[in-house]
Amino acid sequence: MVEEIPVPELVGRCGAVEAAAVARRLAARLDPAAGLHRLVAAEGIDGDGTATRWEAHFDLPARQATLEVVVTFRWMEDSGRYGPGLAGLHELAFPPPGSELARMGERGDLSRRRIRGIWRQQLRERRYLPETIPPLGRALAAVGEPGPWYRAEATVPRTGGPAWRLRGQTRHQVRFAEIG
């Protein structure tokens, strides 16, 4: 399923907290138990932690599926700035079509019950972001180094609580930072 939904309450760009709130609201329409496990600004962030594209990755337990919600802003040529937000939803069944696991199910090598068991195991092992995501601007300030940062990702590493992973590049080096 691919669907696009206008997000008029966001205009121009937004931070991680706003993008996660919109994505969670949309994911909850499909599955109230949706779990956000990854939030990414893959196309770059500004010094204040805002971006024009956010990708939120969810598990939908009741639907045995994953969901990607992409919050973007379209460039408006006539005004020379970014306009209202747009959320694209892409749901993918588990196992993903064409995957080895799906082929094993189609051939009868794995029963539907066994595939559901693998799905439940994946859900038990997954770590989800809390309702309150630390603002990315605070993480950038903690690093204490100016950008440009061209990738920011919020995840929950196995070793602790939620963390921001930042990747940036200066003229001569690629930089990484993890702030938890």
Beta bridge partners of 87: 5, 71
Per the CB < 8 A criterion, the answer to whether 133 and 16 are in contact is yes
- How do residues 58-80 score in pLDDT, each as one tens digit? 999 999 999 999 999 989 999 99
pLDDT at 175: 65
Is position 49 within any domain? yes
* Number of domains, the chain: 1
- Full-prediction pTM beyond 0.85? yes
Range of the domain at 80: 2-131
Q: Is residue 126 part of a domain?
A: yes
Cα gap 119→34, rounded to integer Å: 14
Strands (E), 79-180: 81-93, 149-155, 163-169, 174-179
* Contact by Cβ (8 Å): 156, 37: yes
Residues in the chain, pLDDT under 70: 1, 144-150, 160, 169-180
pLDDT at 11 (0 to 100): 93
Identify the pLDDT of residue 141.
74
Helices and strands (DSSP H and E) totals, the chain: 4, 10
DSSP 69: E
The predicted pLDDT at position 101 comes to: 93
Peptide bond into 148 cis (omega under 30): yes
User: E strands of the chain, at which residues?
Assistant: 2-11, 14-15, 35-41, 50-51, 53-60, 65-76, 81-93, 149-155, 163-169, 174-179
Assigned domain for 141 exists = no
Residue 140 belongs to some domain of the structure: no
* 21 occurs within a structural domain: yes
Closest by Cα among 61, 59, 69, 179 to 128: 59
Q: Is residue 143 part of a domain?
A: no
| The pLDDT value given to residue 172 | 64
Instruction: Identify whether 169 is part of a domain.
Output: no
Instruction: Please check whether residue 66 lies inside any domain of the structure.
Output: yes
- For residue 123, the model assigns a pLDDT of 95
Contacts of 76 (CB under 8 A, 6+ apart): 82, 83
